[in-house]
Copies of this chain bind each other. A is one copy, B any other.
């Protein structure tokens, strides 16, 4: 696993706690001054990782279930010759994958896109809670449903859509997820992806991604630079990428 040296026992998953979208909230209950300063319970631990570092690898196993608490990461599948498919961009509150609740071994890898904080929970503890707490059950079920639905959309996008449609769809998929975790003003979204990441997510080359984004910019649909995505014409973007 990744380097645990940035471990910060003082903060208990604060980022996740105050997010409706997060998994931690269900496990901890709503945030309180108590939990924020309580330190780690025995069945939970934290670690940080630098941007670009690998924080989970395919075929490795863990007794823990991991949740991203701060920063961006991505889950991906790598082929022997170096090609990789980015399966999902992980935002604070996201499980690495909902299947990790049921299985020790990963079928995927995870890398940090920015500096991140990750929280690990004992799988057996989560499953014990699941057995008695319908809220936890519901959170797990919801997570599975969302992952599957996202997978369906990605498959459709990759299999059926043009370069423009795929990129527009990716942005449209990310926008509400980013908005759920940040205050958005003037349609300006924090957006740390490099074009290489977009390329690996939508199955194109970075060069072609650059051309398509250039087109979008020319048509005044959006601007993308300096770690921000500014959406100028959301309606037209949806017309291109909405999969309806």
Contact = CB atoms under 8 A, between A and B. Distances in A.
Given A145-B102, A148-B97, A149-B99, A203 B158 contact: yes
A56 B97 CA distance: 27
A44 interface: no
Given A77-B155, A155-B151, A144 B203 contact: no
Nearest to A84: B160
B243 A99 contact: no
A182 interface: no
Contacts of A84: 160
Q: Majority SS of interface residues in chain A?
A: helix
Interface in A113-154: 141-142, 144-145, 147-149, 151-154
Contacts of A243: 77, 79
A202 B159 CA distance: 6
Contacts of A108: 152
A97 B103 CA distance: 19
Contacts of A148: 97-99, 107, 144, 147-148, 151
A160 B99 contact: no
A185 interface: no
Contact of A155 (B80, B87, B142, B244): B87
A53 interface: no
A15 interface: no
A156 interface: yes
Contact of A144 (B77, B102, B158, B202): B102
B102 A141 contact: yes
18 contacts: A77-B155, A77-B156, A77-B243, A79-B160, A79-B244, A80-B244, A85-B159, A87-B155, A97-B148, A98-B144, A98-B148, A99-B145, A102-B141, A103-B141, A107-B152, A151-B151, A159-B203, A160-B203
